Structure 1
Amino acid sequence: MSSTLPLNTSPPAESPAVDLSFVFPCLNEEATLGSCIQRVKDSLAGSEIRHEIVVADNGSTDRSREIASSMGCRVVPVAARGYGAALRGGIEASHAEYVMFADSDSTYLYEDAAALYKAAKDGNADMAIASRMTGSIEPGAMPWLHRWAGTPVLTTLINWLFHGKLSDCNSGFRCIRKSAFKEWQIRSNGMEFASELLIKALKAGARTVEISSGLRKGPEGRVAHLRTWRDGMRHLLFIFSEKPRLFELLGFMTVLLTTLMQITAFCTGPVSIAGVFHIFDLHSEALLLLAGIIGAQFYLFSCMLFLQSSDRRLKITQKLIHLDEGVLFFSLLLTLCACAALAGYIGIRWSLSGFVNLNLARDLLFWFHPLAISISFCVGLLGLHVLKKAQR
């Protein structure tokens, strides 16, 4: 690590009276940090907003910290790595009622800082967001996949699941009320911090406002910290983790409906509708089996999510999560015995036929359905109970 000048990173004995703390998360941003700081200063200079600028340094080995210190900013070292960790460290160290933050990569319209603060203050909002999607985005500033797929899909998903009215869930330029931020108990260390902040705010019924902003193209040659597929999946996983009820109902209804249809197919045999559509043949039963297994996995996924959620759940879900270990043991044992019995039956029928082709597909698909779902549930509940013990 390169040598650095001594920095005064500890807060003064008495916190300065400021209206706004602007936090920059920073990891080796010497090429752009200075211009970002200056543009924020220029935006706030013409207003009566008393402010401080905090640089949450996440272990920079370049001159980022010296640049920040030389421009009058307070540098706060944050040991835990990650975008979210840096922001949480900077927000916790801030002194103002409202805390604003933006990336230090020179892509956001930092001149909108005063307008963003005014929108939050005048609207008595817990969070104000500078939306890139409703503003002007320079050519090349945002990858096509992010602009037309990633951000719109995630924003729509959050709005639908958590009753929001947002236009840009991934904007990293926001202003929040610090007291509300503490109540939301944000824990993410990575890029999913952005989604967690929105979802926790929406679930808490917080007042959120937006202003139109935009995005500039970053400097040539800069390697972005964001990794599209990894960080996109992290956002998606966090969104899902906050909505276990969705997977509970989807999985439960899928298992129930496919099982009922499988029974119907076994009882009626192939059915022709208007002489055009033919259902409940072997292919239909195979698809019903596949759908039933998928439904069981979604349902078990919801059970695991409920381990860290207090959301309302079905009574059967509550009973399965707290199923007696003895009952679980005998359920697994009986299911395995049933699988062995079915395998034995197939072996006997095969030997009686002289070890030639069997015509048992319809019967086997019918019995495979409950056995496959049962074994999925039993093994899934084993994992669930291990996780529950580990949490304790």
Structure 2
Amino acid sequence: MSLELSVVMPCLNEAETLAVCIKKAKGFFAKYDINGEVVIADNGSTDGSQDIAKSLNARVIHVEAKGYGNALKGGIEEARGTYVIMGDADDSYDFENLQAYVDKLREGYDLVMGNRFKGGIKKGAMPFLHKYLGNPVLSFLGRLFFKINIGDFHCGLRGFKKEAFYKMNLQTTGMEFASEMIVKSKLNNLSIAEVPTILSPDGRTRPPHLNTWRDGWRHLRFLLLYSPNWLFLIPGLILLIFGFLGSALLIIQPVELNTITLDVHTLLYTATSIIIGFQFVLFYGLTKIYAVENNLLPKSNRYQKLFKFLNLEKGLIIGGLFVILGIVLTVISVSLWQATNFSNLEPTKLLRYVIPAIISLQLGTQIVLFSLFFSILGLKNAS
């Protein structure tokens, strides 16, 4: 008979709580007549956790590569069930109450997330910073960046189809594995459901493996790197709009703000904003290509259209026009200087030509170079 459910628990010195977690999971199988197994993904325990698991007839998978994500991937890959439910072996999650997850999986959902904020967080179960800052902020950013209607991105108890796990193509090895699973499910158009889950205090006497600031940063870094729109494109567009509007006003004439006069010195900053913003946009394009071509992000129709719309010829033409504009403005600047027999000029007048000339030359050169590099990256797409 084929197994319906595998309960996978990552394990690193969990001798204090491992037995109770395994017994609860097996009790759940018996209570609901589910053909299941318990898989312990051991990540190098030295406290006898492996012997405890074997004595309770749980399968022990030895995972040499260190890290929360590595341990889970090793256990999930060896799981034999159609469905997999993963959860920490610290007795903070109740493995006797998994039916809500199984019901959603049977309904056809690819990923079923627990929500501790809806189910209830018992006193002392979650540190203050995690409860009121870390989890809410990171979950909000996840919803904002990826348009995922999930209230608790970091709940450690979650279920998924085994076939869906391979579609996710998860790459991370640490605690950010939890965020990647949700993001990759969304990016691959997998169906996601959420069920209330109760979080109890950690049953161990030793400190948890989770490091508040280090692992929080790893989650935030992952969300940013997997969302080049928010990391590069949106900040770049804001800088470009601010730079172009500010420069356009200051090139015409100084801007008076009550007793303050904004002149060519401010123009230098607005012009620099254009360059920095354009760099952000270029990095967005390069990051997107790298992520897609290295299977970090799935290909989309918009991505395919990008290569059809942007090509070497268009880039060379646009870049060339900017270079020509820069040269023309440079010639005008030199002509103004020549008209005074190359004597001293009023800086505020000449810089209104010189600064746009320099910016045009820089933009033109960057567009040409980016177009060349972009066309090299797109060779595989064009073939």
Residues in 1 aligned to 2:75 and 2:44: alpha-carbon distance in whole angstroms:
13
Mapping 1:231-242, distance limit 5 Å = 231-242=215-226
Q: Deviations over 1:85-105 (max 9, x none)?
A: 111111111111110010112
Aligned-partner SS, 1:48: coil
Residues in 2 aligned to 1:279 and 1:169: alpha-carbon distance in whole angstroms:
49
Aligned partner of 1:349 in structure 2 is: none
Q: Displacement of 1:54 after TM fit? A: 0.3
Mapping 1:323-342, distance limit 5 Å = none
Task: Using the aligned pairs only, state the percent identity.
Answer: 33
Q: Which amino acid aligns with 1:213?
A: T
Mapping 1:123-162, distance limit 5 Å = 123-162=107-146
CA contact (8 A) 2:250 2:263 kept: no
Aligned partner of 1:24 in structure 2 is: 9
Residues in 2 aligned to 1:380 and 1:233: alpha-carbon distance in whole angstroms:
31
Aligned CA-pair RMSD: 4.3
Residues in 2 aligned to 1:212 and 1:86: alpha-carbon distance in whole angstroms:
25
Match of 1:178 among 158, 162, 176: 162
Residues in 2 aligned to 1:381 and 1:222: alpha-carbon distance in whole angstroms:
55
Mapping 1:237-256, distance limit 5 Å = 237-246=221-230, 249-250=233-234, 253-254=237-238, 256=240
Whether 1:114 aligns to 2:96 is no
Q: 1:111 and 1:281, CA in 2 relative to 1: closer, same or farther beyond 3 A?
A: farther
Q: Displacement of 1:255 after TM fit? A: 5.3
CA contact (8 A) 2:250 2:264 kept: no
Q: TM-score scaled by structure 1?
A: 0.74
Aligned partner of 1:3 in structure 2 is: none
CA contact (8 A) 1:25 1:56 kept: yes
Mapping 1:354-365, distance limit 5 Å = none
Q: TM-score scaled by structure 2?
A: 0.76
Aligned partner of 1:348 in structure 2 is: none
Q: Deviations over 1:339-363 (max 9, x none)?
A: xx9xxx9xxxxxx999xxx889877
Q: Displacement of 1:261 after TM fit? A: 2.5
Whether 1:261 aligns to 2:211 is no
Match of 2:53 among 68, 74, 89: 68
Aligned partner of 1:13 in structure 2 is: none
Residues in 1 aligned to 2:201 and 2:368: alpha-carbon distance in whole angstroms:
52
Whether 1:97 aligns to 2:82 is yes
Residues in 1 aligned to 2:255 and 2:266: alpha-carbon distance in whole angstroms:
11
Q: 1:49 and 1:163, CA in 2 relative to 1: closer, same or farther beyond 3 A?
A: same
Aligned-partner SS, 2:7: strand
Aligned residues: 361
Whether 1:166 aligns to 2:150 is yes
Whether 1:85 aligns to 2:67 is no
Q: Deviations over 1:250-278 (max 9, x none)?
A: 25534542442243244233223xx6496
Aligned-partner SS, 2:61: strand
Residues in 2 aligned to 1:30 and 1:106: alpha-carbon distance in whole angstroms:
11
Residues in 1 aligned to 2:178 and 2:205: alpha-carbon distance in whole angstroms:
25
**Which shows bigger deviation, 17-26 or 275-284?**
275-284
